[in-house]
């Protein structure tokens, strides 16, 4: 049995233990990964000033210089405290937060400066919860509120929900795709440098590996708390543990060393930076480096990808910017500066000085892509936010392979273009009918002359043209676009458009693998999709044409009678079909992507009132266990705007 397996077993024992035994089982489980001189035990912490904390269920501490007085442990010896909560609500979360905060704020003996491995002195703070009725998102929001009024070194380091998951912080460098684990900074560590990384609150759906996550976090910290000792590799503790995380709120350091929320306009889905500056060799014009200016809270950072050392280029900055200058190497090809008191103008001036004072060629790269206007509306409207932006966000969670992503995007583009065309045609149908109806009622478009009604405007031909466009484009979105999208996502919709016998056979086959989708498609075909397809087939294959509008003289005025499709007035038909089609595109695509979500992740439906105005997306990711209520595909009669 591996050490990771032993920790999973210990986690199950902790979860299944009685309330009176859980503390002892927790300590025994964590003792599995301790190396002398470190041990675990319940107790209180006492600092140099005689300040004593409440009793903690588990303290990770060194055994050196311990005064065995009622379980009191010198704060200098404490590497981590774990507060155990049996049943947690908002009040219990807040109380536990302040208990462990007191442990973090105890005064410890200063560590002399060393030129070797940095030594950590802070006490890690962990809250271990046996059960809670709060979702992980609710807990995370509560921690955000508690953390943001305090300096970063006082933030809670980890909250563990037994057999559910973990809430902690991760870091990400600009230009790097993945997240890395993050340990708390030492007191005053940010006085000499400000790392240009994003601190991101994360949810980790570890479930049975939640205890492994906590143990690995503590062990990795011990390597800095006591670097002269050797500890088990934290990677060994995480073998078989779900590696997936959900990113929540992002933070970054300002020039005063305070950790503040990342401004919304600097998030990846909002910020569009300038093309990089290129540095090329004079003779060969080989690209030696690409540099970007990264705007920060109240300064900026410089990102470099390439061969040149960033330190050697930063000497071309103004002198004031170099007082706390430094570079972090993310990988062999990527370097990023510390946060500097510079603007984009300072960065541009640096590059111009480099060009003038060296034999290197410096120029700005050409834009790599073109952004074109596609509609007279943006993501503030539900249609654009949900059909376009929302589905692409779900795609990004599921599809990582570039070729598969391109295939999906091509299919979805077919759907988008046809659906937008159908939407435009439906709007034009409604507008044309309302205008003509008003003109007839006012006498502008029709008059009674003798025993005849004379219509003085051309209406039926252009009206029929828009109705035909709706039928063609709506059916193309459904039958061509959605069928292709389904194939890319592993769902064959072809049977939906076949004759009854083949349809029933296909539906039965689908029910064996995906009964939820089978029920949804059955209702879809019976309630509307077959009517839409048959109307388009009649137009294309059977010579059908929309009947002309007719006119009657009633009670001293002319009345225009609206033509119908399949017994439904045409404007009602187009509005209804567009609404059903829009719902289907979103529902079906979201369901297929939901079934392919990474381990431990699913999606939830945000309430209408909770959606941000800037992009009122319907779906967001959540953890499968312990998160917000997972969305389930069901056929509905609600309109698109009501969902």
Please give, one letter per residue, the 3-state secondary structure of 509-571.
HHHHHCHHHHHHHHHHHHHHHHHHHHHHHHHHHCCCCCCCCEEEEECCEEEEECCEECCEEHH
Last residue of a domain, one of 225, 242, 259: 242
* Per-residue confidence (pLDDT) for residue 84, from 0 to 100: 97
Half-sphere exposure of 610 (CA within 13 A, CB side): 7
Average pLDDT rounded to a whole number, residues 491-510: 95
Same-domain pairing of 475 and 557: yes
Between 26 and 329, where is the model more confident? Answer: 26
Categorize the per-residue pLDDT at 83 as very low, low, confident or very high, splitting at 50, 70 and 90: very high
Q: Where are the beta strands (DSSP E) in 221-312?
A: 246-253, 259-261, 277-280, 287-295, 300-306
For residue 524, which phi and psi values (nearest 5 degrees)?
-60, -50
Bridge-based pairing state of the strands 56-62 and 158-161:
unpaired
Last residue of a domain, one of 192, 227, 242: 242
* Per-residue confidence (pLDDT) for residue 184, from 0 to 100: 79
Same-domain pairing of 514 and 615: yes
Kindly state whether residue 177 falls inside one of the protein's structural domains. no
Same-domain pairing of 459 and 560: yes
CA distance linking residue 579 with residue 590, whole number of Å: 17
Instruction: Provide the residue range defining the domain that includes 440.
Output: 382-642
Task: Tally Cβ neighbours within 10 Å of residue 510.
Answer: 20
pLDDT, tens digit, 9 for 90 and up, residues 214-230: 999 999 999 888 888 88
* Per-residue confidence (pLDDT) for residue 71, from 0 to 100: 67
* Per-residue confidence (pLDDT) for residue 459, from 0 to 100: 92
CA distance linking residue 239 with residue 3, whole number of Å: 9
CA distance linking residue 244 with residue 229, whole number of Å: 30
Same-domain pairing of 346 and 465: no
pTM of the predicted model as reported, rounded to 2 decimal places: 0.90
Given a cut of 90, whether residue 117 has pLDDT beyond it is: no
188's torsion region: left (phi>0), alpha (psi -120 to 50) or beta?
left
Ranges 188-197, 361-370, 380-389: which has the least confidence? 188-197
Kindly state whether residue 304 falls inside one of the protein's structural domains. yes
* Per-residue confidence (pLDDT) for residue 549, from 0 to 100: 92
Share of the chain above pLDDT 70, in %: 94
Kindly state whether residue 254 falls inside one of the protein's structural domains. no
Kindly state whether residue 342 falls inside one of the protein's structural domains. yes
Q: Please name the residue that has the structure tokens 């993501």.
A: 379
* Per-residue confidence (pLDDT) for residue 68, from 0 to 100: 45
State which H helix or E strand residue 17 sits in. none
The beta-carbon contacts of 524-530 under 8 Å, at least 24 apart in sequence, are: 524/496, 524/580, 524/584, 524/635, 525/496, 527/580, 527/635, 528/576, 528/577, 528/580, 529/478, 529/496, 529/580, 529/584
* Count: domains in the chain: 3
pLDDT, tens digit, 9 for 90 and up, residues 154-167: 999 999 999 999 99
Between 68 and 83, where is the model more confident? Answer: 83
Kindly state whether residue 189 falls inside one of the protein's structural domains. no
Kindly state whether residue 265 falls inside one of the protein's structural domains. no
Task: Tally Cβ neighbours within 10 Å of residue 543.
Answer: 7
Same-domain pairing of 352 and 492: no
Same-domain pairing of 349 and 213: no
**If we measure between CA atoms, which residue out of 317, 355, 364 comes closest to residue 338?**
317
Same-domain pairing of 571 and 513: yes
User: Length of the chain, please?
Assistant: 643
Same-domain pairing of 535 and 431: yes
Record the tokens describing residue 317, joined without a space. Answer: 């900055």
Helix (H, G, I), strand (E, B) or coil at 186: coil
pLDDT, tens digit, 9 for 90 and up, residues 525-539: 999 999 999 999 999
Please give, one letter per residue, the 3-state secondary structure of 46-68.
ECCCCCECCCEEEEEEECCCCCC
Bridge-based pairing state of the strands 259-261 and 601-605:
unpaired
Kindly state whether residue 234 falls inside one of the protein's structural domains. yes
Task: Tally Cβ neighbours within 10 Å of residue 297.
Answer: 20
Give me Rg for the CA atoms of the chain.
Answer: 32
Same-domain pairing of 132 and 227: yes
Same-domain pairing of 355 and 412: no
Ranges 177-186, 250-259, 498-507, 593-602: which has the least confidence? 177-186
Between 330 and 587, where is the model more confident? Answer: 587
Average pLDDT rounded to a whole number, residues 192-208: 90
Angle subtended at Cα 212 by Cα 209 and Cα 214, rounded to the nearest 5 degrees:
115
CA distance to 252, 262, 265, 286, per residue, from 275 (Å): 23, 22, 18, 18
Same-domain pairing of 88 and 17: yes
* Per-residue confidence (pLDDT) for residue 372, from 0 to 100: 59
Between 534 and 191, where is the model more confident? Answer: 534
Record the tokens describing residue 423, joined without a space. Answer: 């939407």
Given a cut of 80, whether residue 374 has pLDDT beyond it is: no
Given a cut of 60, whether residue 65 has pLDDT beyond it is: no
* Per-residue confidence (pLDDT) for residue 448, from 0 to 100: 85
* Per-residue confidence (pLDDT) for residue 170, from 0 to 100: 93
66's torsion region: left (phi>0), alpha (psi -120 to 50) or beta?
beta
Last residue of a domain, one of 312, 336, 364: 364
Average pLDDT rounded to a whole number, residues 313-323: 89
Angle subtended at Cα 632 by Cα 505 and Cα 498, rounded to the nearest 5 degrees:
20
Record the tokens describing residue 504, joined without a space. Answer: 């029933």
Q: What residues have CB less than 8 Å from 599, skipping those under 6 apart?
A: 205, 242, 244
State the chain's mean pLDDT as an integer.
Answer: 91
Task: Tally Cβ neighbours within 10 Å of residue 184.
Answer: 20
Helix (H, G, I), strand (E, B) or coil at 258: coil
Given a cut of 80, whether residue 271 has pLDDT beyond it is: no
Given a cut of 70, whether residue 370 has pLDDT beyond it is: no
CA distance linking residue 207 with residue 382, whole number of Å: 34
CA distance linking residue 135 with residue 150, whole number of Å: 24
pLDDT, tens digit, 9 for 90 and up, residues 125-140: 999 999 999 999 999 9
Kindly state whether residue 260 falls inside one of the protein's structural domains. no
Record the tokens describing residue 427, joined without a space. Answer: 């709007």
Between 578 and 375, where is the model more confident? Answer: 578
Task: Tally Cβ neighbours within 10 Å of residue 208.
Answer: 18
Query: Under a CB-based contact definition with an 8 Å cutoff, are residues 186 and 122 in contact?
Result: yes
Same-domain pairing of 339 and 459: no
Query: Under a CB-based contact definition with an 8 Å cutoff, are residues 570 and 564 in contact?
Result: yes
pLDDT, tens digit, 9 for 90 and up, residues 561-575: 999 999 999 999 999
CA distance linking residue 245 with residue 595, whole number of Å: 17
Between 2 and 369, where is the model more confident? Answer: 2
pLDDT, tens digit, 9 for 90 and up, residues 421-474: 999 999 999 999 999 999 988 888 888 888 888 888 899 999 999 999 999 999
* Per-residue confidence (pLDDT) for residue 21, from 0 to 100: 96
Record the tokens describing residue 86, joined without a space. Answer: 């049996």
Given a cut of 80, whether residue 596 has pLDDT beyond it is: yes
CA distance linking residue 507 with residue 518, whole number of Å: 6
**What would the DSSP string read from start to end of 228-249?**
TS----HHHHTTTS----EEEE
């Amino acid at each position: 049995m591996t050490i990771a397996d032993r920790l999973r077993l210990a986690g199950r024992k902790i979860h299944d233990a009685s309330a009176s035994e859980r503390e002892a089982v927790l300590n025994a489980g964590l003792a599995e990964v301790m190396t002398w001189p470190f041990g675990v035990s319940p107790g209180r912490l006492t600092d140099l000033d005689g300040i004593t904390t409440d009793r903690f269920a588990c303290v990770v501490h060194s055994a050196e210089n311990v005064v065995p007085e009622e379980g009191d442990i010198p704060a200098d010896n404490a590497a981590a405290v774990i507060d155990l909560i049996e049943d947690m609500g908002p009040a219990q979360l807040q109380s536990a937060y302040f208990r462990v905060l007191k442990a973090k704020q105890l005064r410890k003996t200063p560590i002399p400066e060393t030129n070797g491995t940095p030594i950590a002195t802070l006490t890690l703070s962990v809250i271990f919860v046996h059960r809670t009725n709060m979702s992980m998102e609710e807990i995370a929001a509560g921690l955000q509120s508690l953390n943001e009024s305090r300096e970063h070194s006082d933030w809670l380091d980890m909250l563990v929900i037994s057999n559910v998951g973990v809430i902690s912080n991760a870091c990400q460098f600009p230009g790097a795709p993945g997240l890395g684990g993050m340990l708390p900074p030492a007191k005053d560590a940010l006085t000499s440098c400000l790392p240009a990384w994003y601190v991101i609150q994360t949810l980790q759906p570890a479930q049975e590996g939640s205890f492994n996550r906590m143990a690995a976090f503590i062990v990795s910290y011990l390597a800095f708390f006591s670097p002269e000792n050797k500890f088990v590799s934290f990677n060994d503790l995480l073998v078989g543990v779900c590696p997936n995380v959900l990113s929540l709120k992002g933070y970054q350091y300002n020039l005063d060393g305070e950790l503040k929320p990342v401004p919304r306009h600097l998030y990846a889905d909002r910020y569009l930076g300038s093309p990089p500056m290129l540095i090329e060799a004079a003779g060969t014009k080989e690209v030696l480096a690409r540099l970007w200016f990264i705007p920060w809270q109240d300064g900026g950072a410089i990102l470099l990808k390439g061969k040149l050392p960033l330190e050697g280029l930063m000497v071309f900055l103004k002198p004031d910017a170099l007082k706390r200058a430094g570079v972090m190497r993310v990988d062999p090809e990527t370097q990023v500066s510390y946060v500097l008191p510079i603007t984009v103008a300072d960065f541009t001036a640096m590059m111009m000085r480099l060009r003038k004072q060296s034999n290197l060629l410096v120029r700005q790269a050409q834009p790599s892509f073109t952004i074109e206007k596609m509609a007279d509306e943006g993501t503030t409207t539900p249609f654009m936010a949900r059909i376009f932006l929302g589905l692409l966000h779900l795609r990004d969670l599921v599809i990582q392979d570039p070729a598969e992503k391109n295939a999906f995007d091509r299919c979805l583009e077919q759907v988008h273009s046809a659906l937008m065309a159908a939407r435009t045609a439906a709007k034009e149908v409604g507008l044309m009918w309302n205008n003509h109806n008003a003109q007839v009622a006012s006498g502008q478009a029709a008059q009674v002359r003798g025993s005849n009604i004379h219509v003085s405007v051309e209406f039926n031909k252009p009206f029929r043209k828009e109705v035909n466009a709706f039928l063609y484009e709506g059916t193309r979105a459904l039958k061509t676009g959605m069928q292709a999208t389904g194939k890319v996502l592993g769902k064959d919709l072809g049977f939906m458009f076949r004759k009854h016998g083949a349809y029933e056979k296909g539906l039965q086959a689908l029910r064996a693998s995906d009964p939820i989708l089978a029920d949804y498609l059955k209702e879809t075909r019976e309630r509307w999709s077959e009517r839409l397809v048959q109307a388009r087939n009649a137009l294309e294959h059977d010579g059908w044409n929309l009947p002309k509008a007719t006119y009657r003289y009633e009670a001293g005025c002319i009345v225009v009678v609206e033509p119908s499709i399949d017994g439904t007035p045409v404007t009602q038909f187009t509005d209804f079909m567009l609404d059903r089609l829009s719902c289907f595109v979103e529902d079906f695509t979201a369901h297929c992507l939901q079934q392919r979500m990474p381990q431990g992740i699913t999606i939830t439906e945000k309430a209408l009132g909770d959606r941000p105005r800037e992009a009122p997306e319907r779906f967001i990711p959540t953890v499968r266990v312990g998160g917000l209520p997972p969305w389930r595909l069901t056929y509905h009669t609600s309109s698109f705007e009501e969902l």
